[in-house]
């Protein structure tokens, strides 16, 4: 960043500060990863200079020869990776991918079923503070109290009662495999569309270690971040019959010009996610999450749904008598980054919560294995027992620095100078 360093040293120093944070902290936010350097190269490439609307071969601006090749390559790679009939890789984010699907096939006030945000869903699945809950008549389904899995029976009852135009599933804090076939059958029974937001698990799907929702859903939305470990953006997969509607839902329905530099990075993301190396990474991500879950259980933490099939754990802190906010802050102090998270049937406010969400994608990219999960689990336990004890937390910070030194970011091959 030599140019930036000279022209804007303040901003340069802030970027450096973030890089230093990433190097010396253990990143365990389930939505995060460390992208390959190629992704940063592409996101910073000359495609950022190009403005265009429309789709390959049908643009509203000239000069799209290379842009058309690039977007077509990305579309074909996404289709191949997920065995989809159609892909749109223009959505700027996962939220915008969801917005575009709704815009494509729903009318305002249409009835839609979505998983509650406070039981693992996502803002764009009907939360009242979000456009989705304001424009459409979302009705929430949730988890069963006993097993903390989606209550498919309740979902079916709600579907039969409300005859929704669409059922949405997927989430940001649901550790277990979702039964896509069962929800697809319910959607068919009531004549509604079925949409899966697979943003959190897309990398696991690509690796073949999580069911592929493309087999069951009319529409699948996702980000290319999170477990796909790539560009910061979204995409949509659908059957051929919906291709035109979806493309119109993205442009001109909800977006203007495409972010070509990000699409180029998405095209690389899809290629990499089809490799054996990526598959092995995803296998280790899940092994690490499961191992960390076992360690935390041994230390008396309660895991929502008793464990995980994926990259994330949802830890209920009520048996420990601490809040998600308190543990998030104390872990941040020692250098482990997680987020506070509502647990099912939580009575705390979303700004406080009774839980934390922990993801293993980023730390596994740095080379962490099961034995490192023992160390991380032990650190989490020690921190939980010493909230407010600055001296003790300072000594734990040393352990985190040692761990991050053993797991160097980008193997030490990347620096900002
Ligand atoms: N959905 C949010 C999360 O999972 O953290 C952001 O992507």
| Residues 54-97 pLDDT 10s | 999 999 999 999 999 999 999 999 999 999 999 999 999 999 99
Cα 273 to averaged position of ligand 1 atoms, centre (Å): 20
Instruction: Tell me, using a 6 A CB cutoff, whether residue 122 lines ligand 1.
Output: yes
What pLDDT sits at residue 290?
98
Centroid of ligand 1 to alpha carbon of 320 (angstroms): 25
Ligand 1 center to 51 CA (angstroms): 28
Q: Which residues of the chain have pLDDT under 50?
A: none
d(CA 224, CA 213): 16
Does residue 201 line the site of ligand 1, with CB under 6 A? no
- Nearest residue (CA) to ligand 1, atom 6: 31
For residue 406, the model assigns a pLDDT of 96
Helices (H) and strands (E) in the chain, counts: 16, 15
Class of the domain covering 276-408: alpha beta
Identify the pLDDT of residue 341. 97
Helix (H, G, I), strand (E, B) or coil at 115: strand
CATH for 40-273, options being 3.30.70.2520, 1.10.1510.10, 3.40.640.10, 2.130.10.10: 3.40.640.10
* pLDDT value of position 14: 98
Residue ranges, CATH 3.40.640.10, the chain = 40-273
Please give the helix or strand (H or E) that residue 362 lies within, else none. helix 361-365
Q: How many CB atoms lie within 10 A of CB 3?
A: 8
Residues of the chain with CATH 3.90.1150.10: 276-408
Nearest ligand 1 atom to the CA of 339 is 5
**What pLDDT score was predicted for residue 348?**
97
Find the 152 Cα to ligand 1 centroid distance in Å: 24
| Per-residue pLDDT reduced to its tens digit, 304-323 | 999 999 999 999 999 999 99
CB 357 within 8 Å of CB 173: yes
Residue 223: per-residue pLDDT: 98
176 lines ligand 1 (CB under 6 A): no
For residue 232, the CA-to-ligand 1 centroid distance in Å is: 12
Instruction: List all residues 6 or more positions away from 128 whose beta carbon is below 8 Å from its beta carbon.
Output: 134
CA-nearest of 198, 182, 185, 234 to 122 is 198
Angle of the 276-298 helix axis to the 370-385 helix axis, nearest 10:
40
Return the pLDDT at 182. Answer: 98
- Tens of pLDDT, residue by residue over 241-299, are 999 999 999 999 999 999 999 999 999 999 999 999 999 999 999 999 999 999 999 99
Q: Is the CB of 172 under 6 A from ligand 1?
A: yes
Residue with tokens 């336990």: 381
Q: Is 340 in the pocket of ligand 1 (CB under 6 A)?
A: no
């Amino acid at each position: 960043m030599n140019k930036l360093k000279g022209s804007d040293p303040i901003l340069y120093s802030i970027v450096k500060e973030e890089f230093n944070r990433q190097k010396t902290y253990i990143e365990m936010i389930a939505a995060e990863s460390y992208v390959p350097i190629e992704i940063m190269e592409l996101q910073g490439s000359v495609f950022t200079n190009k403005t265009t609307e429309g789709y390959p071969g049908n643009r509203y601006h000239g000069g799209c020869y290379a842009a058309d090749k690039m977007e077509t390559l990305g579309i074909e790679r996404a289709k191949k990776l997920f065995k989809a009939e159609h892909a749109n890789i223009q959505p700027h984010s996962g939220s915008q991918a969801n917005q575009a699907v709704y815009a494509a096939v729903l009318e305002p006030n249409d009835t839609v079923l979505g998983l509650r945000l406070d039981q693992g869903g996502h803002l764009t699945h009907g939360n009242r503070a979000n456009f989705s809950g304001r424009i459409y008549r979302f009705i929430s389904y949730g988890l069963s109290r006993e097993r903390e899995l989606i209550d498919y029976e309740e979902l079916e009852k709600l579907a039969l009662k409300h005859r929704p135009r669409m059922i949405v599933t997927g989430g940001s804090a649901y550790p277990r495999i979702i039964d896509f076939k069962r929800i697809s059958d319910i959607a068919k029974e009531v004549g509604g569309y079925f949409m899966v937001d697979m943003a959190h698990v897309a990398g696991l799907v690509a690796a073949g270690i999580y069911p592929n929702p493309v087999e069951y859903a009319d529409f699948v939305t996702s980000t290319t971040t999170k477990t796909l470990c790539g560009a910061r953006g979204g995409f949509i997969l659908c059957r051929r019959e919906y291709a035109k509607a979806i493309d119109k839902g993205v442009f001109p329905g909800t977006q203007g010009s495409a972010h070509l530099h990000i699409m180029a990075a998405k095209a690389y993301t899809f290629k990499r996610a089809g490799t054996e190396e990526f598959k092995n990474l995803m296998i280790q991500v899940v092994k690490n999450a499961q191992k960390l879950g076992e360690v935390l259980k041994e230390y008396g933490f309660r895991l929502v749904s008793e464990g995980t099939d994926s990259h994330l754990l949802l830890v209920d802190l009520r048996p420990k008598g601490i809040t998600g906010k308190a543990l998030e802050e104390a872990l941040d102090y020692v250098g482990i980054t997680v987020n506070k998270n509502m647990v099912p049937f939580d009575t705390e406010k979303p700004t406080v919560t009774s839980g934390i969400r922990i993801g293993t994608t980023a730390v596994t990219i740095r080379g962490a294995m099961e034995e490192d999960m023992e160390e991380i689990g032990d650190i989490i336990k020690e921190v939980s027992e010493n909230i407010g004890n600055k001296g003790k937390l300072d000594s734990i910070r040393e352990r985190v620095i040692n761990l991050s030194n053993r797991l160097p970011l980008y193997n030490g091959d990347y620096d900002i100078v």
